[in-house]
Amino acid sequence: MLKQLPPRLSNLLIKLFEIGRLFIEEYESKKTRMQAIADELSGISNNLKVVQNTMNTARLHGAALGGLGVVTVGAGLAIASLPGKLALCLVGSIVTGCGGKSLGKAIATKAMTEMSSRDRVNILGKEFMQIIEVQKGLLVDIKTVSEELEEKSSSLKTTTRNQAKIGLAKTEELQQLLKQTAKLSEKSRITPTAEEAAKLRDFITDSALLCENTVLEFAEMRNALRDYEEMQA
């Protein structure tokens, strides 16, 4: 195929193949760590949801026990003169106290988990972007050369151009999301509001999903490059 093409086109094809091989080599050497980061972010996201659900359950449980305690204490005081009924006051107080203790523990666990998660997500996000920096640059080159090929000859229409565009879009989206996550993490470092905490959880969930999607799109880019080179052989 290369020998049948004009020099300008054959040179562009050779350039695309060379860049493609560099991308594949870079991806293959980094994909294990990329996937590990995506998996860890997903684990952090799931853990935050579990902690939040635990606190919600403790809050509802505490409210129920608190109500029971108030009713019991009130009833006990009203019939305090009756033998044995003062025990209800003690039971009511204990029930209320237990509900509050359980909720307090859940809140403390949630706060500590969110704090450690914020720091870890920021570290992982920076590492992921550093890992894909070279691949991102190669995607730009793949897209540029692919566009040149298509402009020169419709018969050389590539799948690599569109796949490179998708990969670049994912990396840009991820980069912006990680910046938003870091900014919100810094803002809510001391005492985050419920809204800030919820938004941060959503950011972390979205970051995990985007990291996973980036790994998948880069794998698709690798496959598209291999297929196109074989097709043009």
Split at pLDDT 50, 70, 90, the class of 68 is very low
Nearest CA to 229 among 6, 18, 7?
Answer: 18
Which run of H or of E encompasses 126?
A: helix 86-131
Report whether pLDDT(19) > 90: yes
Report whether pLDDT(76) > 50: no
Would you say 174 and 58 are in contact if contact means Cβ atoms under 8 Å apart? Answer: no
Report whether pLDDT(188) > 50: yes
Token code pair at residue 79: 């019939």
Region 62-84: mean pLDDT is: 44
Region 120-134: mean pLDDT is: 96
User: pTM for the complete prediction?
Assistant: 0.78
pLDDT in tens, 95-114: 444 455 666 777 777 778 88
Token code pair at residue 216: 């998948």
Report whether pLDDT(222) > 70: yes
Q: What is the pLDDT of residue 190?
A: 67
> Would you list the domain boundaries of the chain?
2-49+114-232
Cα distances (angstroms) measured from residue 158 to each of 12, 104, 164: 12, 59, 11
Region 208-217: mean pLDDT is: 96
Q: What contacts 101, CB < 8 A, 6 or more positions away?
A: none
- Decide if domain 2-49+114-232 falls under CATH 3.40.50: no
pLDDT in tens, 27-51: 999 999 999 999 999 999 999 888 8
Q: What is the pLDDT of residue 193?
A: 84
Q: What is the pLDDT of residue 92?
A: 41
Of residues 181 and 104, more confidently modeled? 181
Token code pair at residue 69: 């305690």
Region 65-79: mean pLDDT is: 43
Q: What is the pLDDT of residue 95?
A: 40
Q: What is the pLDDT of residue 61?
A: 66
Rg (CA), the chain: 29
Token code pair at residue 5: 């093409």
Would you say 228 and 159 are in contact if contact means Cβ atoms under 8 Å apart? Answer: yes
- Cα distance from N-terminal residue to C-terminal residue, the chain: 6
Q: What contacts 54, CB < 8 A, 6 or more positions away?
A: 106, 109, 110
Give the mean pLDDT of the chain: 81
